Chains A and B, each alone.
Chain A
Amino acid sequence: MDQPKNKRYGMVIDLDKCTGCGACMVACMAENNIPFRDDDTDKLLSVSWMHVYRLSNGKPFPHAEECFLPRPCQHCEGEHGHSPCVSVCPATATDYDMHTGIVSQIYTRCFGCRYCMAACPYHVRQFNWWDPVWPEGMERALNPDVSVRMRGVVEKCSFCYSRYQTALNRAYLEGRRELSEEEYQTACTQACPAGAIVFGDLNNPAHRVHQIVKPDLAHGGRPRNPKVFRLLERLGTHPKVYYLTRRDWVRRAGDNEIQKT
């Protein structure tokens, strides 16, 4: 069988459709065994791979507008896989996979130096300050496809890599080497009741994510669709999570430096 072509899995989130309901966050928590604590109100200490931010246009009543921005790991490609976190990890606990474009996190390698957290411009990485504890009986709901993280390691969104592996295993059993678009979808994409999240292979022109973003793959996947933008584009991190909006102020909010000028 032919060697499968390299993929560049990415996501585009329609911010005009996102209602900020939080179904993506909860679906992610359930899929990826995210722990919870008695008090999770301090979001800087709370572990959540997907977080919905609230953006405001800063105008006074009644011209105030708000927008919700779900933020998974941006799976930065950087230059040839040198994403900010991957290049600093002393333990090789995080890696950029050239076959899928997914930035991995290997918990058992991580020794908790948190250098990657400092390097990540998107706050996607979170440190386990506490042991994960489930109330009695609730550990029955844990998903065996995703390992539970222990105290002292950093974790982040993996684009539901376990779902990729499951889909790939099934395909191999059926004698295929390529996955169809719907075979591999992240938990947040699947759950989104507004249909705001589209996930797929940016390299594949048949995939919706490619058709929406129209990525310029020669230039780090810069979007050719004028309504699509990436967070902090000027840093050159080349994220593979794109955002779609027709509102200018939201696009500007994607880069706090631009907003200042």
Chain B
Amino acid sequence: MKIDRRSFLAFVFGGAAGTALSPLPWKLTDDISIWTQNWPWTPVPPKGETTYVASTCTLCPGGCGIRVRRVEDRVVKIEGRSDHPVNRGGICPLGAAGVQLLYSPWRVRQPLKKVDGRFVPVSWDQAIGEIAGELRELREAGAPEAVAWIAETDRGTTAELIRRFLTVYGSPNFIRTPSAQDAWETALYLTQGQRATAGFDLERVSFLLSLGSGLLEGWGAPPFVFRACGALQDRNGRFVQLEPRLSKTAAKAHQWLPLQPGTEGTLAFGLIHVILKEGLERKPFVATRTAGLEDLKRNALREAFAPEAVAQATGLEAKTVVELARAFAAAERPLAVCGRGAGRVPGGLQETLAVHFLNALVGSVNVEGGVIAVPEPEYIRWPEPEMDAVASQGMQTPRVDGAGSERYPLARYLLNRLPEALLQGEKPAVRILFVSGGNPLYSLPDSERTAKAFSRIPLLVSLSPFLDETAAAAHYVLPAPTYLERWEDVPGAAGFPKPLIGLVRPVVAPRLATMPTGDVVIRLAQRLGGTLRAAFPWESHEVCLRQTLAAAWEPLRKNGFVLDESFRPQPFETASRKFEFGNAELKPLAEFRPHPAPGDPGVFKLTLVPYDSLRLTAALGTPPFLVKALESEILWKNDIRVEIHPQTARDLGLADGADARLITPRGEARVKLYLTEGIRPGLVGMARGLGRGAHDRYLAGKGASANRLLAAVEDSSGFEAGWGIRARLERA
């Protein structure tokens, strides 16, 4: 066959056209893309049977019900339980990221002991034995009160086991981590005589007045509060947010009133002033169910709380104050709440009292749509333990934090005062400190001073599942399992208006050589022997839990929670059986004293106000999903961005995104600026939760910690009342 030019071209072009029309090039492209995408290092999650386990989330005090999805023995997702009264299927971002805490490679794998400044792994037997030895020595030296224990909560069997251990050992120093509930519980006790936690019947409110509470930023049980705020909108109710910056809560409120920070209490008294002066109080309630109104009148009707004076202090207009008071008093079901941000700081007791008085004046106390005193659960009824002479003597000594002393008779726990107590004297008052919650070395204000105080403790034992800031400074780390690997009873849900017990159950077998805190307590007691061993007849925390709950165990195990549907608010238990605006105990608190921000306004022209975000945690390490979801207005590369008003920035000659040094009387941090119209001029808004010294590579070393820049501020009752500090910004 002769190949001429014509047939050659026909072959080439025909071949090309034929190939193009055939599936070959597309198939090849497809194959190449498949080949280049099937790298062996791209994980292929193994398939398996999917099951769901109902449990309770303990990442915050919210007590939401969760539904954990497992594939074989792996946890793949955490969802909200749709049949749970608190969250009704919703879940907050932290709750949804909980799986990452379980599988975090930065968890503590076995007990650690610090030798020459470095952690070495030890066996549980050795760790418990050595710590028990130290405890025995201290007790034999006759100083059992030099032991203290910081726990997340004072509720539930784990907390009771700790308290029982300390009691029989001879120390009164059980310390709960602080929260806004400290002030609320004290306010309820003083005015209503009830030992109870404050529940807020938000679902039935028609006018919600929030004095700085971050209702949509972690206050209470987030899904419960979110749902209630949404429902308030559906009902055409009103929601007013008083806060110096346009937080997410303020952005969602019907009205944002940007008052001067720290003047919330003054404003509450200003509203009381208007209500009393104009006779707007709910007369039937005030006349029949309250006492001591004269005392309140004497205080609130002073000129200092007249609308003009309040306007001067708060930066709002006098007209606004008057209108707000009238609208609040006229609403069908008004409710005022306080507890700044996520409510992790008690705030001043007087401020909480002022807000509580405001609620009482409009009849919103212990009624539908009001503040409800939710009694503490009483299912833990163990026989009184036998105490020896050392224990009895130790229990007579005053608490190291001063709570319940002559100076601070109202407070039950004052963790914020511990650093100061530790810094006193030649030898620190605490020789052995256990920390099973709260991560105080990060979460307390004035971090440097706190670290210095804690470093004086000869034996610091952390029971954290993670190597957090406190664990990193500890002498022993006894890792606890995460909430997905253990049993736990969770009495009550923060701010929820009904008594509730939730159950935490192991969703997977413990992954690491961990031990639940309750078991550590029992093991320590067994090692110490004598009265201590006798006080703990249970072989494990789980057995203790089953026996304690007795008849409630089966329903709780089956359902995951027990809700007292029939609960109705209990009558007041004061001497007068009424709500008391004034009495002997309230007398020293009558004259309201605001707490100015520490620092010299001459040197520090600005004021730093920390704020909370649901995408950052306060004590616990923030999981990687949340760090990823964090707004670039808060974190940019490794720098925290602080909010300032454009006018403030102009005055300082600084632009958006500029690097700056944020200086306070307590410390200094490198920050980047974020200019926003959503903050009062003269303020610097800074998110809490960054600047972590420990944890994983997704979180550690990013941004700066607000707590490092803040100072501890104590109110007359001993509670932490700080809300900010004077500061200045300098070009970096």
| A interface, CB within 8 angstroms of B | 14, 16-17, 19-23, 25-27, 29-31, 33, 36-43, 46, 48, 52, 54, 56, 58-62, 64-68, 91, 107-112, 131-132, 134-144, 147-153, 187, 190-196
Pairs across A and B, CB under 8 Å, 20 listed: A17-B230, A20-B216, A26-B97, A26-B625, A27-B79, A41-B630, A58-B677, A61-B645, A61-B678, A64-B678, A66-B246, A131-B42, A134-B43, A135-B105, A138-B103, A147-B44, A149-B42, A187-B77, A191-B79, A195-B230
Q: Are B42 and A148 in contact (CB under 8 A)?
A: yes
B93 touches A26 (CB 8 A): yes
Q: Determine whether B556 belongs to the interface, using a CB cutoff of 8 Å to chain A.
A: no
User: In the complex, which residues of chain A have a beta carbon less than 8 angstroms from the beta carbon of B48?
Assistant: 144
A21-B92, A107-B37 known; A142 vs B227 contact (CB < 8 Å):
no
Q: Would you list the 6 A-B pairs with minimal beta carbon distance, nearest first?
A: A193-B90, A193-B223, A142-B45, A64-B677, A111-B33, A66-B251
B29 in complex: contacting residue of A21, A67, A111, A150, CB < 8 Å: A111
Knowing A19-B216, A30-B78, A131-B41 are in contact, say whether A48-B252 is a contact too (CB < 8 A). no
Q: How far is the CB of B21 from chain A (nearest CB, A)?
A: 17
From B46, B256, B624, contact of A36 by CB (8 A): B624
B41–A20 contact, CB under 8 A? no
CA A180 – CA B103 in complex, angstroms? Answer: 35
Contact partners of B104 in chain A: CB under 8 A: 135, 137-138
Report whether B45 and A193 are in contact in the complex, using a CB–CB cutoff of 8 Å. Answer: no
Q: Which residues of B contact A26 (CB under 8 A)?
A: 93, 96-97, 625-626, 629
- Residue numbers in A under 8 Å from B227 (CB-CB): 193-195
Number of chain B residues whose Cβ lies closer than 8 Å to a Cβ of chain A: 81
Q: Within the assembled complex, what's the spacing in Å between the Cα atoms of A177 and B481?
A: 44
Q: Which residues of A contact B100 (CB under 8 A)?
A: 138, 141
Q: Are B87 and A193 in contact (CB under 8 A)?
A: yes
Q: Determine if A61 and B33 form an interchain contact, defined as CB atoms under 8 angstroms apart.
A: no
- Assess A141 versus B76: contact at CB under 8 Å? Given A30-B96, A91-B33: yes
Which B-chain residue is minimally distant from A107 (CB atoms)? B37
Hey, which chain A residues are within 8 Å of B77, CB to CB?
A: 30-31, 141, 143, 187
Q: How far is the CB of A18 from chain B (nearest CB, A)?
A: 8
- How many angstroms between the C-alpha atoms of A150 and B103 in the bound complex? 22
Residue of B nearest to A139 (CB): B43
Judge whether B33 and A110 touch: CB under 8 Å. Answer: yes
B222 on interface, CB distance cutoff 8 Å: yes
Which of B420-428, B486-494, B569-577, B632-640 is near enough to bind chain A? B632-640
Closest to B48 in A: A144
Q: Which parts of B79-108 form the interface with A (CB within 8 Å)?
A: 79-80, 87, 89-93, 95-97, 99-100, 102-105
Q: Is the CB of A22 within 8 A of B636?
A: no
**B248 and A46: CB pair below 8 A?**
no
Contact yes or no, B251 A43, CB < 8 A = no
A66 to B, closest residue via Cβ: B251
Is the pair B629, A141 in contact by a Cβ cutoff of 8 Å? no
Are A21 and B216 in contact (CB-based, < 8 A)? yes
Which chain A positions have C-beta within 8 A of B681?
Answer: 61
Bound CA–CA A30/B32 (angstroms): 30
- Point out the residue from B76, B92, B615, B625 that lies within 8 Å of A143, measured CB to CB: B76
Q: Is B680 an interface residue (CB 8 A)?
A: yes
**How far is it, in angstroms, between the C-alpha of A194 and the C-alpha of B697 when the chains are bound?**
31
Expressed in whole angstroms, the Cα–Cα distance for A140 and B76 within the complex equals 7
B1-59 contacts to A, CB under 8 A, are: 29-30, 32-34, 36-39, 41-48
| Nearest Cβ on chain A to B216's Cβ, whole angstroms | 4
Tell me if B71 counts as interface (CB < 8 A to partner A): yes
B696 adjacent to chain A (CB < 8 Å) = yes
> In this assembly, does B75 line the interface, its C-beta being within 8 Å of a C-beta of chain A?
yes
- Bound-state Cα–Cα, A49 to B78, Å: 18
Q: Which of B34, B230, B614, B631 contacts A108 (CB 8 A)?
A: B34
Q: Is B679 positioned at the interface, with any CB of A under 8 Å from its CB? A: yes
The contact of A131 among B39, B249, B636, by CB within 8 Å, is B39
With A26-B629, A61-B645, A138-B103 known as contacts, the answer to whether A20 contacts B251 (CB < 8 A) is yes
> B96 touching A191 by the CB < 8 A rule?
yes
Q: Is the C-beta of B229 less than 8 angstroms from some C-beta in chain A? A: yes
Q: Do residues B105 and A148 form an inter-chain contact, with CB atoms below 8 A? A: no
Whether a CB of chain A sits under 8 angstroms from the CB of B456 is no
- A39 to B533 alpha-carbon distance, docked (Å): 51
Are A142 and B43 touching (Cβ within 8 A)? yes
Q: Bound complex: CA of A91 vs CA of B25, how far in Å?
A: 12
A152 near B44: Cβ-Cβ < 8 Å: no
CB contacts (< 8 Å) of A40 on chain B: these are 627-628
Residues of A within 8 A of B624 (CB): 36, 135, 138
The answer to whether A194 and B90 have CB atoms under 8 Å apart is yes
**In the docked arrangement, what's the CA distance between A108 and B38, Å?**
8
Query: Is the CB of B74 closer than 8 A to any CB of chain A?
Result: yes
CB < 8 Å neighbour of A61 from B30, B43, B105, B677: B677
Given contacts A48-B628, A66-B678, contact A19 B226 (CB under 8 A): yes
Residue with the greatest number of chain A CB neighbours at <10 A, chosen from B41, B103, B258: B103
Whether B75 lies near A108 (C-beta < 8 A) is no
B676 CB–A CB distance under 8 Å: yes
Could you tell me the distance in whole angstroms from the C-beta of A128 to the nearest C-beta in chain B? 10
- Is the pair A195, B42 in contact by a Cβ cutoff of 8 Å? no
B258 touches A61 (CB 8 A): yes
Instruction: Say yes or no for B233: interface residue by CB 8 A criterion.
Output: yes
> By the criterion CB–CB under 8 Å, are A22 and B90 in contact?
no
Knowing A21-B226, A190-B80 are in contact, say whether A29-B89 is a contact too (CB < 8 A): no
Kindly list chain A residues whose C-beta atoms are within 8 Å of the C-beta of B87. Answer: 193
Chain A residues positioned under 8 Å from B252 (CB to CB): 16, 19
Task: With A29-B628, A148-B44 given, name 13 new contacts (CB 8 A).
Answer: A17-B233, A19-B252, A20-B248, A21-B226, A39-B638, A132-B43, A137-B104, A141-B74, A144-B46, A147-B44, A148-B45, A152-B37, A191-B96
Q: Which residues of B contact A141 (CB under 8 A)?
A: 74-77, 99-100, 102-103
Give A129 Cβ to nearest chain B Cβ, in Å: 14
B698 within 8 A of A: yes
Contacts of A137 in B (CB 8 A): 103-105
Query: What are the residues of chain A within 8 A of B632 when measuring CB–CB?
Result: 41-43
B71 x A23 contact (CB < 8 A): no
Find chain B residues with CB under 8 A from A64 CB.
246, 676-678
A41 touches B105 (CB 8 A): no
Residue of B38, B41, B90, B679 with most chain A CB atoms under a 10 A cut-off: B90
Q: Which residues of B contact A144 (CB under 8 A)?
A: 45-48, 71, 76
- Residues on B with C-beta less than 8 A from A109 are 30, 33
B233 touches A190 (CB 8 A): no
CB distance from A56 to the nearest CB of B (A): 7
B701 to chain A minimum Cβ distance, whole angstroms, is 10
Contact status B93-A91, CB under 8 Å? no
A137 to B97, CA, bound (A): 15
Q: Are B631 and A152 in contact (CB under 8 A)?
A: no
